[in-house]
Amino acid sequence: MATQIFTLVGVLIGALTSYFATVVAERAKFRREMATRWDERKLDTYIQYVTCIKEIQRAALEAGRAHDAGTDASDALQEMEESENRRSILFETFVLLSNERAATAAHTVNQQTWKLLRTARVPSNGMAEIRPIPLVEALNVLHEAARSDLTISKAVVVR
């Protein structure tokens, strides 16, 4: 009788150990899947946001060239405004998904973008007044923060 009890206890301990090991493994798998899912969504949002910024910058520069040439800049300004509207919507998703460092960098990019927009909207401002350099510098900081948030390291160049 004692051997049967020991056998039964051994089977019970084995079953419980197997159950807990499976639960721990499934939880770890679920966490990895969720992290991957959100990282993919973050990456898509980051790419779309930066693309809008680049479209705004390009359209602002086109508007500046048009002002310098004395031609109509309305198409470039309209494209710039459409990109700004998309950027505004994407920014909300960006902030919801990103870490604090990336969100702060995106706020700085927004401020530099708004300066560029204000300058490009003035009909008398041409290329000399439109300076995208502060925006480019802010984008570089944002790129670094986004890579850090996504745990993407910089590629090492071997020579």
pLDDT in tens, 70-121: 899 999 999 999 999 999 999 999 999 999 999 999 999 999 999 999 999 9
Contact of 58 with 66, CB cutoff 8 Å:
no
CA–CA gap between residue 66 and residue 2 (Å, rounded): 95
Does pLDDT of 19 surpass 70?
yes
* Residue 29 DSSP symbol: H
* Pick from 153, 146, 155: nearest CA to 53: 146
Which pLDDT belongs to residue 13? 83
Within 10 angstroms of residue 34's Cβ, the number of other Cβ atoms is: 10
pLDDT tens, residue by residue, 26-55: 787 767 666 566 788 999 999 999 999 999
Does pLDDT of 159 surpass 60?
no
**CA–CA–CA angle 33, 34, 40 (5° rounding):** 90
Q: Which CATH architecture is the domain 36-149 placed in?
A: Up-down Bundle (1.20)
The pLDDT-based confidence of 154 (bands split at 50, 70, 90) is low
- For 23, 79, 112, the CA distances from 55, given in Å and listed in that order, are 48, 8, 14
